[in-house]
Amino acid sequence: FSSETPHSITRGSSEEAENWLYFSTTIPYKTGPPSHGPTAALMSSAPSIVLGSSSRGRKMVMDAMGVEYTTMSPDIDEKAVTVGMGDRASSDPAALTLKIALAKAAALRGKFDSTRPVLLVTSDQVCVFDGKIREKPENEEEVYRFFSDYTETAPATTVASVVVTNTKSGKQVHGTDVAKQYFKPVPREVVEALVAKGDIMYCCGGFIVDDPLVGPYLHRREGEYESIIGLPKSLTKRLLAEAGGAS
């Protein structure tokens, strides 16, 4: 990647891939807020959290964090956002994802009442292989080609930028996270089954890690599992705290 990173890059430590059933077996316990009394009064002034995304993966990460949140979807043309000379495939992935995450925040920010603090979380992610950004696959053959490229020595690399905006104070913080997933050879029939399910066609880089069909073919991982899913958890928690009060 380019050394000209727009903000700090947080890298997870290398470790073996976590059980691919993590999100399907982890149910966060949540308690509702008190309806009256001094605790309720304090909580009424605390910032609420809004996830500016309809992504299934990002919602799974927020659920796993155990925070209360609502969702809104920004209406922007992500493909229209470019950096450098405008060639997305050759763009700096950190700069591109940050620019898109900031554009998502700008598109949603005016929808909030400035008298009530809201922590707005927006994010974007791309997949990089062999120095080029990979978009969502167009067909089954492209999914198979992508999976054939990812091996035990040549990983799929995800670059995810997160922006947290305090809509009352105007404070905005951001960061970028990088993770790598290595794969064992994935059989053609598994790829066909994934395409039939449909979810993989909406995944940048044409790969997925949280489907049971892929579990046996996951090799080692560098960085956070959640970052590969679409929202780096440690980075998001830190930015929420910096922007105004979520721990």
Kindly state the DSSP code that residue 146 receives in the 8-state scheme.
Answer: H
The partner residues of 9 in beta bridges, in order of sequence, read 176
Q: How far apart are CA 122 and CA 212, in angstroms?
A: 28
Indicate if 113 belongs to the active site.
no
HSE-CB for 124 with a 13 A CA cutoff: 21
Give me the catalytic one of 92, 124, 177, 210: 124
Q: Is-contact 163 122, C-beta < 8 A?
A: yes
Helix, strand, coil shares of the chain, percent, nearest 5, are 35, 20, 40
Q: 10 Å Cβ neighbour count for 22?
A: 16
Quick one: DSSP state of residue 85? Answer: T
Do residues 99 and 83 make contact, with C-beta atoms less than 8 angstroms apart?
yes
Measured CA to CA, the distance from residue 226 to residue 178 in angstroms comes to 11
Question: Residue 180 corresponds to which tokens in the numbers above?
Answer: 């790598």
Q: Which two tokens stand for residue 246?
A: 């979520």
Token pair, residue 63, equals 């659920």
Q: Residue 168: name the closest of 132, 115, 223 by CA.
A: 115
Could you give the residue numbers annotated as active site?
A: 124
